[in-house]
Amino acid sequence: MRFSLLRFINIVILTAVCILSLTGVYGLFWSRTGWIFDLHRAAGWILVAAIPSKIAISWASLRRGFQRNFDRGVMLAVSILLSVVSLLVIGLGIAWMWRIGPAESWLRQTLISWHWMLALGLLAPLILHAWRRWPHPKRIDFTSRRGATRLLVLGGLGLTAWLIADIFARQRAAAARNIRRSTGSREDRSFSGNQFAVTNGPHEGKDPIEIEKWRLTIQDRPGDIQSFDYPGLLALPQSLMTATLDCTLGWFSTQEWQGVRLDQLIDLDPETGLVLGVKLVSASGYAQIIPVYEARQILLATHVGNEPLDHWHGFPLRAVLPSRRGWFWVKWLTHIQVVEMPELSETRNSYL
């Protein structure tokens, strides 16, 4: 059996895309592990290095033309769409990294948000494409001299491009006098109190909270319920936490938050029972379930930078969770519930 450039390039591309998908999905949830984001960028540049060979292979396939069957008709059209949108996703990522183009684009989304939204949309057609058209890998494609050499060249080109691109991105950030975080997000008014950016879901926050009627209800165990009004919450022992809110729209802001630690109100020791986590529920009905090992980090914040939270930042109460992206920092908190093992499926279903 001989070395096949077709098999080799397709497997390299599929491997890079798998790494990009896994690290990209990770980055939508968590924000602290910097090497994950570096791996994402390195895999992206290896994918870019493989594009010229892939174009040559695709052109040879296109020259054979369309036929009225699934593989040479429908799948060929899917392949073309997949290629065009993939190039767009790559271009958006590079443009965001190098600060090319507007900070905000179509439908009030940033370039980086379009990058990850389009990338997620590509997963289904990519799986279909890989199933129907990707050749099965052969050991000789990577263990032969030609295969090993090509692999080293592609890897070297990709890693070199990543390092050069990162240096250029840092220079662009320095020129703009704006810090770039490991996630790729850009700093927005750190340590400014309520002055930093606001991101909300559709129709969230339209109704102001009537503080006289507001209550925080905490359900620790069945039948064990605590309730706090705003003055009662402020009367509890207060804690300070410096934490970074990192939004998937591409901005971050580091602030000093003040409030009550959740583990002071709830026993979150996993050794004492079957506690899986906590469910945070907003006045709007928005909810997130946080695993117990992360829930112990949560600060129930009433203030930011010595200022009471304003309405759009979650007044009277929001969750601060340093390890997670901003969409887990639930605003306008009204209810917190301990999630135990028998209740997990029921709790999830009630807020899907």
Please, what is the Cα angle at 349 between 346 and 352, to 5 degrees? 155
**Residues 220, 121 share a domain:** no
Total residues found in the chain within this entry: 352
Give DSSP secondary structure letters for 88-146. Answer: HHHHHHHHHHTT-S-SS-GGG--HHHHHHHHHHHHHHHHHHHHHHHPPPP-THHHHSHH
Nearest to 77, CA basis, from 12, 129, 115 = 129
Q: At 273, is the pLDDT very low, low, confident or very high (cuts 50, 70, 90)? A: low
Distance CA 151, CA 133 (A): 22
Question: CA–CA separation, 311 vs 315, rounded Å?
Answer: 5
Quick one: pLDDT at residue 151? 92
The mean per-residue pLDDT over the stretch 233-239 comes to 97
pLDDT at site 272: 57
Residues 235 and 272 in one domain: yes
Is residue 183 within 8 A of residue 190, CB to CB? The reply is no
The angle formed by the CA atoms of residues 332, 335 and 338, to the nearest 5 degrees, is: 135
Q: Which residues of 170-193 are buried (b: 16+ CB within 10 A; e: fewer)?
A: eeebeeeeeebbbbbbbbbebeeb
Domain membership of residue 186 (yes or no) is: no
- Provide the Cα torsion 70, 73, 79, 81; round to 10°: -120
Whether 53 and 98 share a structural domain: yes
CATH number of the domain that residue 267 is part of: 3.90.420.10
What SS3 string covers 106-119?
HHHCCHHHHHHHHH
Residue 344 clears pLDDT 50, i.e. is over it: no
Tens of pLDDT, residue by residue over 4-49, are: 888 899 999 999 999 999 999 999 999 988 999 999 999 999 999 9
In this model, does residue 64 exceed pLDDT 50?
yes
3-state DSSP call for residue 245? strand
The model's pLDDT over 135-165, given as tens digits with 9 standing for 90+, comes to 788 888 888 998 899 999 999 999 999 999 9
**How many whole angstroms separate alpha carbon 101 and alpha carbon 336?**
42
Tokens of 153: 């060249």
Residues 174 and 231 in one domain: no
Asked whether residue 229 carries a pLDDT value surpassing 80, the answer given is yes
Same domain for 275 and 223: yes
Q: What is the pLDDT of residue 307?
A: 97
Domain shared by 329 and 237, yes or no:
yes
Of 1-10, 217-226, 263-272, least confident by mean pLDDT is 263-272
Q: Are 100 and 125 found together in one domain?
A: yes
- Give pLDDT, residue 206: 86
Q: Which of 148, 180, 212 is the last residue of a domain?
A: 180
Tokens found for residue 59:
């052109």
- Summarised one tens digit per residue, pLDDT across range 281-329 is 999 999 999 999 999 999 999 999 999 999 999 999 999 999 999 999 9
Domain boundary (158, 180, 202) is at: 180
The pLDDT value recorded for residue 342 is 60
* Residue 98 forms part of a structural domain: yes
Burial level of 42, CB count in 10 A (0-12/13-18/19+)? buried
Are both 145 and 216 inside the same structural domain? no
Q: What residues are paired with 324 via a beta bridge?
A: 30
Are 250 and 185 in contact, with CB atoms under 8 Å apart?
Answer: yes
Q: Which domain range does residue 90 map to?
A: 5-180
Distance in angstroms (rounded) separating the CA atoms of residues 34 and 17: 19
168 pLDDT band (50/70/90 cuts)? Answer: very high
Q: What is the mean pLDDT of the chain?
A: 91
Q: Which residues of 310-329 are buried (b: 16+ CB within 10 A; e: fewer)?
A: eeebbbbbbbbbbebbbbbb
CA-based nearest residue to 300, from 261, 253, 246 = 261
Domain count, the chain: 2
Residue type, 49: A
Predicted confidence at residue 65, as pLDDT, reads 83
**pLDDT tens-place string over residues 76-126:** 888 899 999 999 999 999 999 999 998 887 888 999 999 999 999 999 999
- For 34, the enclosing helix (H) or strand (E) is helix 34-62
User: Which of 122, 148, 180 corresponds to the end of one domain?
Assistant: 180
